[in-house]
Amino acid sequence: MQLDRATGWFSGVSHCPSPNCNARPDGEAISLLVIHNISLPPACFGTGKVQQFFQNRLDPDEHPYFATINQLTVSAHLFVERDGAVTQFVSLLERAWHAGVSRFGEREGCNDFSIGIELEGTDELPYTDAQYTALAQLTQQIRSAWPVIDLGRICGHSDIAPQRKTDPGPAFDWPRYRAELQRNEDKA
- Catalytic residue positions? 118
The three-state secondary structure class of 183 is: helix
Pairing of strands 107-108, 103-104: antiparallel
The three-state secondary structure class of 3 is: strand
CA nearest to 98, candidates 171, 37, 187: 37
Indicate the residue type of 107: R
CA dist 39 → 79, 83, 138, 164 (Å): 10, 14, 20, 17
Task: Enumerate helices (H) and strands (E) in the chain, giving the number of each.
Answer: 5, 12
155 in Cβ contact with 104 (< 8 Å): yes
Please work out, in degrees rounded to the nearest 5, the angle formed at the alpha carbon of residue 54 by the alpha carbons of 138 and 6.
45
Q: Phi first, then psi: what are they for 107, rounded to 5°?
A: -100, 130
